[in-house]
Amino acid sequence: MTTSILVTGGTGTLGRPVAQRLRDDGASVTVLSRHPPETAEGIRYMAGDLSTGEGIEAAASGAEVIVHCAGSSRGDEQKTHTLVSAATGARHIVLISVVGADRIPQASVIDRALFGYFGMKLATERVAAQSGIGWTALRATQFHDLILMVARALAKLPVIPALAGSRFQPVDATEVAKRMAELALGEPSGLVPDLAGPKIYTVAELVNSYLSAAGKRRPLVPVHIPGQAARALRAGANLAPDRAVGKRTWEEFLADRI
Ligand SMILES: NC(=O)c1ccc[n+]([C@@H]2O[C@H](COP(=O)([O-])OP(=O)(O)OC[C@H]3O[C@@H](n4cnc5c(N)ncnc54)[C@H](OP(=O)(O)O)[C@@H]3O)[C@@H](O)[C@H]2O)c1
């Protein structure tokens, strides 16, 4: 039997390889996008916007499984609520979240302004868990692509502010995609073990390796951020050293991309 799967965010860094993998595994794949491309390559694209709700019922109709990879820096909780309300026929929703979602305090205005993303992802997990649909949530660390995007933006400055004391454990988005596809073809499992990259780096190490690969030189200035969330980050709440199961390192990713 062919499983009918809706992939939200199937045009993004994570969702694109998820959709391709599920298609290659023989699923009938529909991708939701605000700007659906015309070419299909065995994948059906449907227009819809999770912020307004437009097109979501039509895209979700007939989907047995939803792989929810759509996301942005704000409003994921509301977008997910819109999705699960429309997905009346689905039996399983697989959600991507972030390592540390439950460990980064959201106590002050600074915590929420700078690290509200973690609180938002935890709230999003709860929306899926309370939806009445069978659910699975995978927490991953930051994707290499995100670190590269941030490093590129920082390298445009004459002096680079680097978060003091914080470390990151970037993971390859294609490895996360492989796991998401595997989870989508399995049974609802609740919160599954975290997925993190093979190595842990300081911010200075990440930025300096980018600068060196790009042939640039910039001074770094350590920046100390106040608040409980930043303290939790310095204590490693965003890391999963016991779940360093990703294989591709930041250095390997950089060598391929630059
Ligand atoms: N990047 C990381 O380091 C990281 C780490 C852990 C977890 N995550 C989570 O992984 C997910 C995917 O991240 P990513 O890096 O792949 O993001 P991305 O490349 O920025 O892609 C975002 C995707 O979300 C879709 N989207 C955004 N707003 C939407 C809306 N209102 N309605 C419908 N679709 C919408 C976009 O589709 P269209 O533009 O085609 O509409 C796009 O496909 C997010 O939930 C993120 O929080 C990311």
Query: By alpha-carbon position, which residue is closest to atom 40 of ligand 1?
Result: 33
Unique residue bearing structure tokens 């819809």: 48
Query: By alpha-carbon position, which residue is closest to atom 38 of ligand 1?
Result: 33
What are the backbone angles phi and psi of residue 256, rounded to the nearest 5°?
-75, -35
Closest-lying ligand 1 atom to the alpha carbon of residue 70: 24
Q: What is the pLDDT along the chain (258 residues), one digit of tens a residue?
A: 789 999 999 999 999 999 999 999 999 999 999 999 987 789 999 999 999 999 999 999 999 999 999 999 999 999 999 999 999 999 999 999 999 999 999 999 999 999 999 999 999 999 999 999 999 999 999 999 999 999 999 999 999 999 999 999 999 999 999 999 999 999 999 999 999 999 999 999 999 999 999 999 999 999 999 999 999 999 999 999 999 999 999 999 999 999
Q: How far apart are the first and last CA of the chain?
A: 43
Which domains are assigned to the chain? 4-257 (3.40.50.720)
Q: Is 117 helix (H, G, I), strand (E, B) or coil?
A: helix
**Cβ neighbours of residue 17 closer than 8 Å, sequence gap 6 or more:** 173, 174, 177, 178
Unique residue bearing structure tokens 């965003």: 238
Closest-lying ligand 1 atom to the alpha carbon of residue 171: 3
Query: By alpha-carbon position, which residue is closest to atom 20 of ligand 1?
Result: 12
Q: Is 12 helix (H, G, I), strand (E, B) or coil?
A: coil
pLDDT of residue 252: 97
Residues in the chain: 258
What are the backbone angles phi and psi of residue 191, rounded to the nearest 5°?
-80, 120
Closest-lying ligand 1 atom to the alpha carbon of residue 14: 16
| 249, 197 Cβ separation under 8 angstroms | yes
Query: By alpha-carbon position, which residue is closest to atom 18 of ligand 1?
Result: 12
Q: What is the pTM of this model?
A: 0.98
Ligand 1 centroid – CA 73 distance (Å): 9
Cα 64 to Cα 23, 43, 90, 135, 191: the distances in Å are 15, 16, 4, 12, 20
List pocket residues of ligand 1, CB cut-off 6 Å: 8-9, 11-15, 32-35, 49-51, 69-72, 79, 96, 98, 140, 142-143, 146
